[in-house]
Amino acid sequence: MPIIDPTILKAQQLLTAGKVVAIPTETVYGLAGNAYNEDVILQIFKIKNRPSFDPLIVHASSIDSIKSFVKQFPPQARQLANIFWPGPLTLLLEKKSQIPDLVTAGLPTVGVRIPSHQLTRKLLSLLSFPLAAPSANPFGYISPTTVQHVNDQLGGKIPYTLEGGNCQVGIESTIIGFEQGQPTLHRLGGISVEAIEKVIGPVTGVKHATSNPRSPGRLESHYAPRVPLIIGDIQALIRQNAHKNLGILSFDKYYPAVEVKNQAVLSPSSNLDEAAKNLFSSLRTLDQLPIDVILAAYVPDKGLGKAINDRLKRAAVSYF
């Protein structure tokens, strides 16, 4: 029998004992606990300071194990799962009673996914229960893509973080629901809409958060840094804000008018996947600098660029 990484065994032990542990996934780090245990779910909400009306995503190791806690797997969900799992796609499926209402904030559907990170897949395969795991950040702040990010904010509140390096996708999973048989996009994320539509045809967008208060991931202001963030034409914004200490979050180039150490370039080679991977780390780095404002521009609105632009928009909105 192969020897199992001792760090995985430690996580397994704590989770089995009803503790909450941070785990790596390919998208962002998660704050994980036994999805069947209400007390554990309450702990997750408390540690994150998350409102109870915001449902959690449940992570599992196989489609077979998911079948034990969802009522059905519609054909289109099956098609997507076959192609994109393990990976950054969450499917909203009708839940069975094993999943407490607390997990889904009273909704009849549960968000499920099989993550692709090797350590977490191994961990899930050793557990006798699935893991409910929101992103491991305080509610409303930027999601963590490194162990350092997790420890900076939640280190004192959890007994253990399973270290799994830097998240390779860097942006949360795409969420798809199947309302009345119609595939619906609930959150842009690590699998592009184009890739999903290639498999199941057109996907409709969800109504905005104001009409759907149960999905704070869709709230206008979310993923927000503390330093105000303004989106527009960076060159023009530099001129308009010349009297301030400026930080820049740019897609692919530096701006000579601003100190290099106050600038984050998401992808010097203009690659949207690389930009997604660097987005949250760059926002966090800028947020720690002694600057008055972060100036940013939208990236090309295709592929993962759509998810990046969605996060930028929410990071900015609270300041208008």
- State the residues that interact with Mg ion by CB under 5 A: 135
d(CA 128, CA 132): 13
Nearer to Mg ion, 104 or 135 (CB): 135
Cβ closest to ligand TXA, residue 207 vs residue 244: 207
Q: 30 is in the binding site of which of Mg ion, ligand TXA, none (Cβ under 5 to 8 A by kind)?
A: ligand TXA
Q: Which is nearer to Mg ion, 11 or 28 (CB)?
A: 28
Closest separation in Å from C-beta 190 to ligand TXA: 7
104 binds, among Mg ion, ligand TXA, none (CB under 5 to 8 A by kind): ligand TXA
- Between the CA of residue 102 and those of 30, 42, 43, 66, 281, what are the distances in Å? 18, 8, 11, 18, 31
Q: Which stretches does DSSP call E strand in the chain?
A: 21-23, 30-34, 57-59, 89-94, 109-113, 131-132, 174-179, 182-187, 204-205, 229-231, 246-250, 263-265, 293-296
Neighbour count for residue 168 (Cβ, 10 Å)? 18
d(C-alpha 117, C-alpha 272), whole Å: 21
Residues that bind ligand TXA (CB under 6 A): 25, 27-28, 30, 54-57, 88, 90, 92, 104, 107, 109-111, 133-135, 172-173, 175, 186, 215-217
92 binds, among Mg ion, ligand TXA, none (CB under 5 to 8 A by kind): ligand TXA
Minimum Å distance from CB 10 to ligand TXA?
A: 19
Instruction: Give the shortest CB-30-to-ligand TXA separation in angstroms.
Output: 3
Helix (H, G, I), strand (E, B) or coil at 191: coil
Contacted by 57, from Mg ion, ligand TXA, none: CB < 5 to 8 Å by type? ligand TXA
Q: How far is the CB of 88 from ligand TXA (least distance, A)?
A: 6
Q: C-beta of 50: minimal distance to ligand TXA in Å?
A: 8
Residue 173 binding: pick among Mg ion, ligand TXA, none (C-beta 5-8 Å cut-off by kind): ligand TXA
| Cβ atoms of 164 and 120 closer than 8 Å | yes
Nearer to ligand TXA by Cβ, of 143 and 262: the residue is 143
The residue (of 237 and 314) whose beta carbon lies closer to ligand TXA is 314
Rounded to an integer, what distance in angstroms lies between the CA atom of residue 4 and that of residue 19?
A: 20
Comparison of 126 and 209: residue with beta carbon closer to ligand TXA: 209
CA distances from 220 to 140, 229, 262, 278, 312 (A): 11, 14, 26, 22, 11
Tokens of 139: 């509610």
Q: How far is the CB of 127 from ligand TXA (least distance, A)?
A: 16
